Structure formats: C-alpha cells, structure tokens
Amino acid sequence: MTTSSCTSVAVIGAGPAGLTAAEHLAAAGARVDLYDRMPSVARKFLMAGRGGLNLTHSEPFERFVARYGKRAAQVRPALEAFPPEALRQWADGLGAETFVGSSGRVFPKAMKASPLLRAWLKRLEGLGVRIHLRHDWTGWTDNALAFETPDGPIEARPDVTILALGGASWPRLGSTGGWADLLAGRGVEIAPLRPANAGFQVDWSPHFVERFAGQPLKTIALTFGGRTVRGEIMLTRYGVEGGAIYALSSALRDAIARDGHADLGVDLKPDMTAGQLASKLGRASAKDSLSNRLRKALGLPPPAIGLVHETHATDVKAVTIRLAAMQGLDRAISSAGGIRFEALADGFELKALPGVFAVGEMLDWEAPTGGYLLQACFATAVGAADFIVRERMSRA
C-alpha cells in the first residue's frame, strides 16, 4: 500500500490539536494548509506554559481514562492509540524532554511551552505545512471554506477539512466557541459550552476578603457528591479556585445549575482522626481563645482559622463552604460541552458533514487539570489524522 501525495487538507485552528493533526498528515504526504484567526499560533498552549505546561499524567492508564468521567468510553480509543507515553516520546523527540513531578503530572523540563512550540513549528515547516495567520474561518460558501483575511475574503476547496477550533474559555486567546452556532446550523449536535476547571463564587464577608484573599489552604480534603479530593485551594476575592476545586468542578457546576448553590465539605485536617483532634484540643488551655487553640493544638494556619470563623464551623473536619455560582468562561481553564460524540462517525468525522473532522477541546468531553486536557487534544487529533491517512489517502 502506498500513500497518495496529492490529498489536500485544511486544518483550521492552530492550537495543539490542529498542529498535531497537521504534523501527522503532512508526515504521511498530505498537502496541509493550517489556518488560524490570530496573528500567531497556539496562544492558549503558550498560556498553559505559564503554569509549567502540564502535558500529561503518569498514573496507571485505567485511572487516567477514568478522569474523563461520562465520556471516558468515547475518549478511550484515542487515548489507547496515542497514550501518555507516546506524548512524552513525541515531546522528547522535539528536544523538550519531560519529567514526572511529585504529583505524577508530566512537564517538559523547561517548564514552559515556547521552546517546544518553536521546535514544533520548525518541524512543520520542514514537512511543508503552510500556515495562514489572520484567517478567520466563517463557514462555507458554495461548499468552499470561507475565510476573512486582512486582504479580504478568500475561499479554499481542500479534499478534507479538520476543525480544531478549541473550546470557549479565555476567548481573547482565539477560541471563542463561535463555531457552535455555525455547526448547529449545519445539523451538527452540540452540547452547550460551559465553563470547566474554573473557580466558584462565595459570599465572603468583607473582613475575610481583606485578610485572606490570595492565600492558599494547603493539605486539605474537599468532599462533594460522595467524592473526596485531597489537595490545595486558593482563597480569592470572589470565592475559591485551584486544583482540588477543579477536580470536583463538573459535579459542583451541575449541582448549582440544579439547586442554585452547592455546599462544599472541607476537612482542614484530613490526616488526623476526629479522636486525635479531640484529644489534642482537650489538652489545650481552656483560657485560650478558639483561634489560639486551633493554632497551638492543631497547628492550623491563619487562613484555615479564618475559614472556621467565617463559616461558623464547629468541627475542623466538617467545614462547609456554600458556593453560589461558577466563574464564567472568560477565565475558565477549559470548557465543557461541544460537538456531541453521537454526531461523530469513525475518525471524528462529522456525520452531518462528510469530509469534515473535528478534534481537540471542541468535542464534548471534559476532564480536570493534571495534563488530561492536552492529552485528549493530542490524542483525538492523532486519531483523526491516522484515520484520514488510512481511509482517505491509501491507494491499493
């Protein structure tokens, strides 16, 4: 079997998913044009690099897949075909050697995205991928892809199109979710785009905000909906944010939509039993104030003691924070919702639009932070590209 060198592919969206699809297809001999509306590529990927660029996670595969919750079964085949180890090898191959952090998360040693992106773009250039910036895709006219550019409208008629337009978080980085209405109008089933991995609003008192906004609560456990997560949160002016919150954020978001609020359980001393706590507190001087007893006997830091007072908690293992609303898409790390898996045929091809594929965050999966977002973007892009190479470019 040989591969055709004349298949032309338009990849729209030059984030990690689009760049990955472009790389795989160009390496297989396709003529690839990669379009993005922004003046430079992969702005969200670079933003992710500011936090160290958590590329993937090293935990056992079954636990990894379970992070995709209700969509685990749909994302699994792509992850099996392009697992975390393959992503690490790919990064290593671009000179961005990775390491496993203490939490099991995987980062490039440089702890940023720019060196990796530079090497990646060089590789794409070597493969002949043509990148067209400031090309805003606006849909189809007469079955041709339509773009607005600084030089006026242009059209393209590729053999195959891959949409890699991202979700709807941090819209100023280029992904606005504007494609949702456009594709829905073409008969593609779309689940509403909602914030994921975002903070939650809490009605803190002015005193609490004044004293504790910007301070973390470390080594705590959060419980909601029967799930407990250990980690750290950040107290903010508007409420709470941080990794442990994000891990529970989809259940919290859904509860707020249903009930108008969500009561988050906080254990400020997860490593001590109730009995151990009682005996330590029992030995504290009765003359001391509650704050002093919590500090001296339990070693609680000021923000934790402040939280006990703020919430009128009587047990440091059962503090309740009432969450009033989720933060909006503007500052969410990712978005939930998007193209429903029911709208997709094999290889992430849109059933309603044969020859058009969709990959990355624009698909209807969500996952917590920890490297699961980028891993699924890479894996779905590889999945679509491999399918196209196999089914559309092969010549007997």
Ligand X SMILES: Cc1cc2nc3c(=O)[nH]c(=O)nc-3n(C[C@H](O)[C@H](O)[C@H](O)COP(=O)(O)OP(=O)(O)OC[C@H]3O[C@@H](n4cnc5c(N)ncnc54)[C@H](O)[C@@H]3O)c2cc1C
Residues that bind ligand X (CB under 6 A): 12-18, 35-38, 43-45, 47-48, 51, 53-54, 136-137, 164-166, 169-170, 174-175, 178, 333-334, 360-361, 371, 373-374, 377
Q: Are strands 349-350 and 394-395 parallel, antiparallel or unpaired?
A: unpaired
Cβ neighbours for 121, distance < 8 A, ≥ 6 positions apart: 41, 131
Give the count of beta carbons closer than 10 Å to the beta carbon of residue 217: 24
Least distance CB 336 / ligand X (angstroms):
11
Would you say 18 or 347 has its CB closer to ligand X?
Answer: 18
Structure token digits, residue 49: 């690099």
Would you say 188 or 374 has its CB closer to ligand X?
Answer: 374
Least distance CB 274 / ligand X (angstroms):
36
Q: What is the DSSP letter of 360?
A: G
Least distance CB 395 / ligand X (angstroms):
30
Least distance CB 350 / ligand X (angstroms):
16
Which helix H or strand E contains 289, and what residues bound it?
A: none
What distance in Å separates the CA atoms of residue 68 and residue 57, rounded to the nearest whole number? 13
Phi, psi of 105 (to 5 degrees): -75, 150
Would you say 12 or 393 has its CB closer to ligand X?
Answer: 12
What distance in Å separates the CA atoms of residue 132 and residue 119, rounded to the nearest whole number? 18
Q: How many residues does the chain have?
A: 396
Would you say 173 or 284 has its CB closer to ligand X?
Answer: 173
Specify whether the CB–CB gap between 375 and 57 falls below 8 A: yes
Amino acid found at 75: V
Least distance CB 10 / ligand X (angstroms):
11
Least distance CB 110 / ligand X (angstroms):
14
Would you say 170 or 200 has its CB closer to ligand X?
Answer: 170
Would you say 49 or 306 has its CB closer to ligand X?
Answer: 49
* Backbone φ/ψ region at 220: left (φ over 0), alpha (ψ -120 to 50), beta: beta
Least distance CB 135 / ligand X (angstroms):
6
8 exposed, middle or buried (CB, 10 Å; 0-12, 13-18, 19+)?
Answer: middle
Least distance CB 219 / ligand X (angstroms):
22
Least distance CB 81 / ligand X (angstroms):
17
Would you say 37 or 269 has its CB closer to ligand X?
Answer: 37
The closest of 359, 335, 293 to 74, measured between CA atoms, is: 359
Would you say 51 or 299 has its CB closer to ligand X?
Answer: 51
Q: Cα dist. 218→101, 103, 139, 249, 267 in Å?
A: 18, 14, 47, 18, 11
Structure token digits, residue 233: 């949160």
- State the first-to-last Cα distance of the chain, in angstroms, to the nearest integer: 5
Amino acid found at 382: V
Structure token digits, residue 253: 């978001």
What distance in Å separates the CA atoms of residue 326 and residue 250, rounded to the nearest whole number? 10
What distance in Å separates the CA atoms of residue 394 and residue 396, rounded to the nearest whole number? 7
Would you say 197 or 319 has its CB closer to ligand X?
Answer: 197
Would you say 193 or 373 has its CB closer to ligand X?
Answer: 373
What distance in Å separates the CA atoms of residue 27 and residue 307, rounded to the nearest whole number? 55
Least distance CB 266 / ligand X (angstroms):
25
Amino acid found at 59: E
Beta pairing partners, 263? 322
